[in-house]
Amino acid sequence: MILTLAAAVTLLPFIYMIAVSLAPTGALWSGSLLPAPSLDAARANYAYALTEVPLLRYMANGAFVCAMILVLQVLVAAPAGYALAKLPFRGRGLLFGAVILALMIPIQVPAIPLYVALAYAGLLNTYTALILPVIISAFAIFLFRQFFTSYPDEVLDAARLDGFSELAIVWRLMLPAAWPAVAAFATISVIAHWNDLYWPLVVITDTDMMTPPLGLAAFRSNGESTGNPGALMAGGVMVTAPLVIAFVFFQRHLIRGLGIGAS
């Protein structure tokens, strides 16, 4: 009952967003709870959102940045998690403690030094500025480490005898076995970076480099669209849709991965 109520409260803004995106501007002020949709208005709203601002460009930027971030995060975190889980070396416990510590530091803390460094390197308004600061994910290292720890040691010994290098063990044995963790992490990472407004707002001012949330914010604040809430909501729908669709596909993995990681 409480869950149903919570779900309804959560869903309401989305329903309102979709309704507004389908209705003519005038209908918003009619006083009814949900404005009446019309096909013409919907077409006009979506056409306006697609033509007046480079919404597709924003979405392509977002997709590229999210994909690169995910690939690089896994590329870094899988070997790191493997080393922390299975390779004995001096200071391993300390290093794992540092990873857990890093989990607790939000990006806002190092934001200014990062910004200054990127500015000096001349990397503002580039994909690199969006991707580079987040490719080392403490959460991913932690998650993979927890998953890899339970992998049987005898199989690793067998792999070493069969000629697997340590990296081949990571990519060919550990990662395929940790598929639920990878899927869960992929979902979390993509959602977080697709929706992120803060960091793009810091390093991006060029319209061509904007990600969807930043683009929408700019769309709203540049004045010309304040009179067109329908088009703004249409943009919102289009930006949210890919995530919702992806989540529907991945939610099983997401829940399983987090469940195993936590146990």
Partner 1 sequence: MQTASACDSASGQKTQSVGLELLDVTCRFGDVAALKDVSFTAKPAEFMSIIGPSGCGKSTLLRSIAGLERIDDGGIHVGGKDVHALRPSEREVAFVFQSYALYPHMTCRQNIAAPLVMTELSALGRTPLLHRLSPKARHTRARIASRVDKIADQLQIGPMLDRRPGQLSGGQRQRVALGRALIREPKLFLLDEPLANLDAALRNTTRAELHALQRRVGATTLFVTHDQAEAMAISDRIVVMFDGQVRQIGTPDDLYRNPADIDVARFLSQPWLNCIHMDTAAHHLEAGPGRPTARVRGLPLREQTGVVAFRAEHASVHPESDRAEPALRVTVDRAEHAGSDANLFVTLQGSDTQLVVRIPSSDIPRWPGGTPANLRIDTEAAWIFPVPEQTADTDRDAMKVA
Q: Site residues (CB under 8 A) for partner 1?
A: 152, 154-155, 157-164, 168, 173, 176-177
Question: Tokens at residue 64, please?
Answer: 């590229």
Nearer to partner 1, 112 or 167 (CB): 167
Least separation in angstroms between residue 153's CB and partner 1 is 9
Nearer to partner 1, 91 or 152 (CB): 152
What gap in Å lies between CA 256 and CA 263, rounded to an integer? Answer: 11
What gap in Å lies between CA 185 and CA 189, rounded to an integer? Answer: 6
Least separation in angstroms between residue 164's CB and partner 1 is 6
Nearer to partner 1, 63 or 177 (CB): 177
The answer to whether residues 143 and 81 touch, using CB atoms and an 8 Å cutoff, is yes
Nearer to partner 1, 40 or 162 (CB): 162
Q: CA neighbours within 13 Å on the CB side: how many for 14?
A: 10
Nearer to partner 1, 69 or 173 (CB): 173
What secondary structure letter does DSSP report for 226? T
Least separation in angstroms between residue 140's CB and partner 1 is 20
Least separation in angstroms between residue 173's CB and partner 1 is 6
CA torsion sign, 251 to 245 to 195 to 234? negative
**Amino acid letter at 31?**
G
Least separation in angstroms between residue 200's CB and partner 1 is 34
Contacts of 180 (CB under 8 A, 6+ apart): 253, 256, 257, 260
